[in-house]
Structure 1
Amino acid sequence: MTAITVELNNKIKKAPVRGMMENVMEQFNSAADHIDLHPNIRKILSITNNEIIVHFPVKMDNGEVEIFTGYRVQHNNALGPYKGGLRYHPTVDIDAARALAMWMTWKTSLAGLPYGGGKGGIQLDPSNYSQGELERITRRFTYALADNIGPEHDIPAPDVNTNSQTMAWIADTYMSTRPPAERTANQHVVTGKPEGSGGLEGRDRATGYGVFLNIKFWAERTNEALYDKKFSVQGFGNVGYWAAYFLEKEGAKLVAAQDAFGSIENQTGISVENLLNYNKANNGSIVDFPEASEIAKESFFETDCDICIPAALGNQITKDNAPKIKAKLIAEGANGPTNGDGEKILLERGITVIPDILCNSGGVVASYFEWLQNRNGELWQLDEVMAKLDKKMKESFDKVFEYSEREGMDMRTAAYCIAIRRIEKAYVQRGIFP
């Protein structure tokens, strides 16, 4: 049996981190400087609490054993249990998990939720494995994490290449390891479950709907009409689809889309529903969609549009393509899609960026609703969920927009200032043990 290794960050000397971690630290330090964050609290928030790395064996369909590496980074829990997604992707590593966990801390704080931030996943390409293999990988990963997750300690959720089925496997495996009397009481160990297994009605659309709401709130605040606005979506998965779906309902036009396989454009408009149906029938790809023309991958961000929604992976908008962007609004559906150099250029050009920790927070807000629903033994209807989501997202947007206007700063820095202030207040009130 391969040994399981658990590494805690306070026992490891780490090498300098580049990429997403560099971006999140630059964003954090900018906001911390602005609010004159106490040096001791800055030290605490600059590092992660725990970093768990597990190596575990799984038997493949052909009988061979493959070794996988999984990660779970727990950044901070001053406000409550760690909360954040698990992704299955070749880019998953400890550095990415650190950055994403830190972003989750700011996101949950900004939303006013009783959560901290965590993130993780497995370094793999799920398309290379059968459904049965993915189930065994997921269950073995859950078993390897053991007591490092829990409904009052660390609550995973879906992320890139994971879904409600993945969460159902995790919940079942986790509950199976508990004493019989405690099993049903641990259903909320994960959120994003199928509706028949304790999931929340409307959770599937919550992140994309939240992106749409932020765009709508921005339009209202700037006296813009969404009708006939052109928008592009990078990543036509769950987030990108639902954001596009609700924007189209408002009369806006999808004119370009990009996924891992290619990019398409049609300036007269692309039917969101037709594209979804084609995507499903074409093995999850939008390539060769008959109602649009193919464009070069590197030309996607140059598309003539009013609103651009990067809803794929991190570090997509950089100093190389930011000067060519024609959209006046960037609504970040993904985590960290705009790096520091790219954002500086966007802001200098007068382009507004609705930051990820605000724009895509609909998912974690809905996760909170699901967690409450399971914890209290309740069942919420779709209209109730959507009304609660509207209210919560409006509160967050208004706080960030007004802080940004009042302080004369970009929306990302404003969002960070609000989020960090709330955590700072918790530390000031509680003190530092011992």
Structure 2
Amino acid sequence: MTTDLNAGRSPLDLESPHSIPVTATATPGGEAPDVDTGPLAYARAQLSDAIAVLDLDQGVYSMLANPRREMTVSIPLRRDNGDVEVLTGHRVQHNVSRGPGKGGLRYSKDVTLDEVRALAMWMTWKCALVDVPYGGAKGGVRFDPKRYSREEVQRVTRRYTSEIIPIIGPTQDIPAPDIGTDEQVMAWMMDTYSASQGYTVLGVTTGKPLALGGSLGRPTATSLGVAHVALAALSHLRRRPTATAAAVQGFGKVGRGAARYLWEAGVKVVAVSDEYGAIFNAGGLSVPDLEAYVAISGTVLGFDDSEDLNDRDALLYLEVDLLIPAAVEGVLHGENADRVHASLIVEGANGPTTPAADEIFRANGQLVVPDILANAGGVIVSYFEWVQANQAYWWSQTDVENRLRERMERAWHRVLEYAATHRVSLRLAATVLAVDTVTTAHLTRGLYP
């Protein structure tokens, strides 16, 4: 079926090109990848579709389907009670053809090497799509920081950093905050790396405190970018923010700020969730009041003027216009996508939608703004922070936010134009543009003999 973009609809109902089969390609870590499910399989399937559109060969697919470099380390930790525990950490550099690796560090009990590989690949595409001169990287330590004291988290951070020092640095790989980490963790990483070099190296991490070379506007950059793209997509669909009801899954680093910016733009935020549950108010939630409540209570549950939903995931299926999944990957999949009513889905999280769900959304005419576009605000302002640190000259918040808006809007229009011209989904358009950019750089450099 043909879609008329001029009528404000998206090309979601068109068939994807035939993919290169996602086979059990050998990986540098020696592990057999999960070829059926999981974030790495989803990332490789998206790459495969882009390779087919670009008419590239299997060799290019194999190069881009596997990380350039990865390191797995043991992290011995002395607990506050004297016990010793050994944690496992990873750092993966997917591709560095366009510049140093760039990507977050997450602390979570669910961290796996394949997850980190997938996230690093998505970072490669994200940086290329928004024209940031980085490659993709990602890191993770498998533990729940909420179950550890702040001093124990510091010891984990410093030992992990010391173990991966050979492969990080301001011209090699630049970590940033992600799930379970924050600006203090980045400060500890920067200090540990600097101590090993004998001088202060502000550019080794981004997302740092302002006192240590952080950038104004960095803590809210991802959220603001999500809001910019969501509002642009609403305009494309000819919908007014004040006539839009939204649900936000996840009220952490990304979801909280995105909900606030949308609320400030007039969007009616009717539901939000966190790891403990979800709340709903058909008339709309006061997001600033909710932020103040969460700062005290630690959860959205029990907020005045709202009802607690019995099932946290029920938020995904509400009768809303806009859904922002801003928690973790894989929450929208083949088993639940048909229950999602939102006509616009803007991915605040990395990889929240599986390929099976994408097909369902396309068939149902629902517009999905992909993660590598929607949540790219964080890496854009991380780049700004890195530039400022290298120049030892810091910009105003207005400068940062204006430059962020310009980059996000430029990327949005570029992806939208490609999707309309080639009659493909926004995700495929974004991935094709990014893969083409990276492949051109990779092949221009040539293969080292």
Q: In the TM superposition, what is the alpha-carbon distance from 1:298 to its structure 2 partner?
A: 3.4
Residue 291 of structure 1 corresponds to which residue in structure 2? 305
Q: In the TM superposition, what is the alpha-carbon distance from 1:79 to its structure 2 partner?
A: 0.6
Which fold has the larger relative contact order, with Cα–Cα distance below 8 Å and residues 6 or more apart in sequence? 2
Match of 1:153 among 163, 167, 172: 172
1:233-280 deviations in Å (ceiling 9; x for gaps): 000012111111111111111101111000111110001111111111
Q: In the TM superposition, what is the alpha-carbon distance from 1:40 to its structure 2 partner?
A: 2.7
Residue 83 of structure 1 corresponds to which residue in structure 2? 102
Aligned CA distance change for structure 1 residues 426 and 15 (closer, same or farther; 3 Å) = closer
Q: Which residue type is aligned with residue 290 of structure 1?
A: D
Match of 2:68 among 46, 49, 56: 49
Q: Which residue type is aligned with residue 264 of structure 2?
A: K
Q: Secondary structure at the match of 1:385?
A: helix
Q: Which residue type is aligned with residue 169 of structure 1?
A: W
User: What is the distance in 2 between the residues matched to 1:11 and 1:303?
Assistant: 42
User: What is the distance in 2 between the residues matched to 1:87 and 1:322?
Assistant: 27
Task: Indicate conservation of the 8 Å contact 1:154/1:189, yes or no.
Answer: yes
Q: Indicate whether 1:276 and 2:291 are aligned.
A: yes
Superposed, which structure 2 residues align to 1:126-141 within 5 Å? 126-141=145-160
Residue 134 of structure 2 corresponds to which residue in structure 1? 115
User: What is the distance in 2 between the residues matched to 1:401 and 1:11?
Assistant: 37
Q: Secondary structure at the match of 2:102?
A: strand
Q: Secondary structure at the match of 1:204?
A: coil
Q: In the TM superposition, what is the alpha-carbon distance from 1:12 to its structure 2 partner?
A: 2.5
1:11-50 deviations in Å (ceiling 9; x for gaps): 6353444311111111110111011124332221011111
Q: Which residue type is aligned with residue 180 of structure 2?
A: N
TM-score, normalised relative to structure 2:
0.92
Match of 1:172 among 191, 215, 225: 191
Q: Which residue type is aligned with residue 28 of structure 2?
A: N
Q: Which residue type is aligned with residue 218 of structure 1?
A: A
State the superposition RMSD in angstroms. 1.3
Q: Which residue type is aligned with residue 351 of structure 1?
A: Q
Task: Indicate conservation of the 8 Å contact 1:207/1:363, yes or no.
Answer: yes
Task: Indicate conservation of the 8 Å contact 1:404/1:411, yes or no.
Answer: yes
User: What is the distance in 2 between the residues matched to 1:321 and 1:38?
Assistant: 34
TM-score, normalised relative to structure 1:
0.95
Match of 1:354 among 350, 369, 390: 369
Residue 268 of structure 2 corresponds to which residue in structure 1? 253
Residue 376 of structure 1 corresponds to which residue in structure 2? 391
Deviates more, 1:317-326 or 1:370-379: 317-326
State the aligned residue count: 422
Q: Secondary structure at the match of 2:385?
A: helix
Q: In the TM superposition, what is the alpha-carbon distance from 1:220 to its structure 2 partner?
A: 2.5
| Percent sequence identity over aligned pairs | 39
Q: Indicate whether 1:66 and 2:80 are aligned.
A: no
**Long gaps (5+) in structure 2:** 1-25
Match of 1:344 among 349, 353, 359: 359
Q: Secondary structure at the match of 1:227?
A: helix
Q: In the TM superposition, what is the alpha-carbon distance from 1:219 to its structure 2 partner?
A: 2.2
Q: In the TM superposition, what is the alpha-carbon distance from 1:428 to its structure 2 partner?
A: 3.1
Residue 339 of structure 2 corresponds to which residue in structure 1? 324
Residue 4 of structure 1 corresponds to which residue in structure 2? none
